[in-house]
């Protein structure tokens, strides 16, 4: 019966390295998830940089999520993680984040940092679940389309 549920849901979730051919889809997902989405060209550059790690989450043949980090020495910054809105709430982001963090650790990263909008409760719950802790705050960091400015929380997780 597992094959039937996989078929019905669109297939088995697979997390794998992204490549430059994924840039358009990753840009589309980012734009649907954030107020200022990154363009296809920005993803093309990131996907070719040696210090950037990008994973895609596929369900069947469709890419439904991604995680991207930039590494420097033994630290990394999780730049973005996104899941297609139709697939949220299924625990897929947890698997994607843990897999991504595991690959960062495998490359010698010992600390991971990120910024998250203070009011983004789903993202904060995910990061706290994954062991990230608040280490700082940036006042009025995010500019909303209507002009409102929102605070960012700085979070960190040790991988060692």
* CATH number where 84 lies: 3.40.630.30
Measured CA to CA, the distance from residue 90 to residue 138 in angstroms comes to 31
Q: Token pair 């051919």 is at which residue? A: 21
Task: For residue 7, tell me if it sits in a domain.
Answer: no
How many other CB atoms are there within 10 angstroms of residue 64's CB atom?
A: 23
- 154: nearest Cα among 50, 75, 42: 75
2-38 residue pLDDT tens: 443 444 456 788 999 999 999 999 999 998 888 777 8
113: its two tokens: 């940092």
Asked whether residue 153 carries a pLDDT value surpassing 70, the answer given is yes
Determine the Cα–Cα distance for residues 116 and 80; give it in Å rounded to an integer: 9
Percent of the chain with pLDDT over 90: 67
Q: What is the pLDDT of residues 59-114, one digit of tens each?
A: 999 999 999 999 999 999 999 999 998 888 888 999 999 999 999 999 999 999 99
Question: What is the span of the domain harbouring residue 48?
Answer: 13-158
Q: Report if residue 72 sits inside a domain.
A: yes
Is residue 24 situated within a structural domain?
A: yes
Q: Is residue 98 part of a domain?
A: yes
122-154: b (≥16 Cβ within 10 Å) or e: ebbebbeebebeeeeeeeeebeeeeeeebebbb
Q: Is residue 147 predicted with pLDDT exceeding 80?
A: no
pLDDT score recorded for residue 152: 87
pLDDT per residue as tens digits for the range 50-67: 999 999 999 999 999 999
């Amino acid at each position: 019966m597992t094959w039937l549920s996989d078929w019905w849901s669109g297939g088995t979730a697979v997390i794998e390295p992204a490549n430059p051919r994924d840039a358009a889809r990753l840009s589309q997902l980012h734009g649907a998830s954030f107020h200022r989405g990154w363009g296809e060209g920005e993803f093309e550059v990131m996907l070719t940089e040696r210090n950037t790690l990008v994973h895609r989450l596929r369900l069947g043949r469709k890419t439904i999520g991604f995680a991207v980090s930039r590494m420097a020495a033994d630290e990394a910054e999780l730049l973005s993680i996104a899941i297609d809105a139709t697939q949220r709430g299924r625990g897929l982001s947890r698997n994607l984040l843990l897999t991504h963090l595991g690959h960062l650790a495998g490359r010698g990263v010992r600390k991971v940092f990120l910024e998250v909008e203070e009011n983004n409760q789903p993202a904060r719950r995910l990061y706290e679940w994954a062991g990230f802790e608040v280490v700082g705050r940036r006042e009025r960091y995010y500019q909303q389309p209507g002009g409102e400015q929102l605070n960012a929380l700085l979070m960190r997780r040790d991988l060692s």
